Amino acid sequence: MSTSSQKTALVTGGAGFLASHLTDRLLSEGFRVIGIDNFITGSLANIEHLSGNENYRFIKQDVTQYLFVNEPVDFVFHFASPASPIDYLEHPIPTLKVGSLGTHNALGLAKAKKARFLLASTSECYGDPLIHPQTEDYWGNVNPIGPRGVYDEAKRFAEAMTMAYHRYHNVDTKIVRIFNTYGPRMRLRDGRVVPAFIGQALTGQPLTIFGDGSQTRSFCYVSDLIDGIYRLALSDFHEPVNIGNPREMTIRQFAEEILRITGSHSQIETHPLPVDDPKVRQPNITRARKVLGWEPKVAFEDGIATTIDYFRTRI
C-alpha cells in the first residue's frame, strides 16, 4: 500500500511502448505504479520484467469502463489509446471511446483521488499543419471526417475535457503533445515508419515510402521523451507542451539512413500517399525549454543504433 513517503502513480495503457518506459522511470524514482491495459495494442512482453516487483501492480481492464482503485493515488498518467495508423484504422470505435470515455474515467479517478493528471496527447492535434514548426498555440488543420480523424479528434476532445476538468473541477492537469518517438519495445509491425523501415532493412525487403518521400518527420528517442513527460508531471504548468526532437528529416532521408546504418542492400519502393498524411512535422520546443528546462540529449545515430539492435533480437 502507498505510504506517506511513497507516491503512487496509475498508468493507463500501461503495457504500451511509451507507458512501459514511463513505468520504468517512475519506479526508478521511487514511485509505486499501478498499470492498466486491455492489450488491444499493448504487449505483456513490455512489462514482464516487472513481475515480482513489489512496487508494481497490474490490472487488466478497458479504461472506457468504470475505474475503481481502492487505495490512494497521487498521479494519473492517461496513455491508453491505439497510436499508429494501422491500429486506429483497425480499431476506430475503440480509439474514439478511449479518447472520450476513457479520458472521462481517468479524469474522474484523478478528481476523486485528488491526484495530478497527465494526458498523453499528440502532435496529430496539429493535423496537416499550415505553420512550421508547430507551436502549442497553433489550433491545427485537421480533417474531422477523414480516416485519421478518429485518432486526431479523440485526442483533441481529450485535451478539451482535460482543460474543462482543470478549470471547472480544479484538477491539477498537464497535457503533453508527443511527436514521433522511437526506441526499444516498439512493435515491429505497428505500421509506423521506424519499425517498418528497420524491419524491412533487416529482412532484405524493399523499404516502402508513401508519396515521393519529401514529407518530413522529427524523431525523438524514448528516454528523452520520458524525461520531458516526467518533468512536466512535476511542474505547475497546465497548458499543452510539445515534447519531441526538432531534428527534422524527410522520409526518404530517413530510409537512406536506415539502409546505411544497417548495411542493408534493400531497395526503396514508393506507394501512393495515404489520405490526410501530414506533409511536415517538427516541434517548436521553446515552451519545454523555458518551462521544464528540457531538451533532447540522445543523438539520432545513438538512438537508432540501439533501436536497430533491439529489433535484431525480434526478427
Q: Which residues are catalytic?
A: 151
Question: How deeply is 28 buried, as exposed, middle or buried, from its count of CB atoms within 10 A (0-12, 13-18, 19+)?
Answer: exposed
- Tell me if 36 sits within 8 A of 73, measured CB to CB: no
User: How distant, in Å, are the alpha carbons of 92, 138, 204, 219 from that of 149?
Assistant: 9, 18, 34, 23
**Residue 23 phi, psi (nearest 5):** -60, -45
Using alpha carbons, list the distances in angstroms from residue 306 to 50, 203, 260, 313: 21, 18, 15, 11
Do 304 and 182 form a contact (C-beta atoms < 8 A)?
Answer: yes
In whole angstroms, give the CA distance from residue 40 to residue 142.
Answer: 25
Three cell numbers, residue 109: 479517478
Burial of 90 (0-12, 13-18, 19+ CB in 10 A): middle
> How far is the C-alpha of 114 from the C-alpha of 72, rounded, in Å?
9
CB atoms near residue 59 (< 10 Å): 16
Cell output for 234: 512535476
Q: Quick one: which of 61, 73, 76, 82 has its CA closest to 17?
A: 82
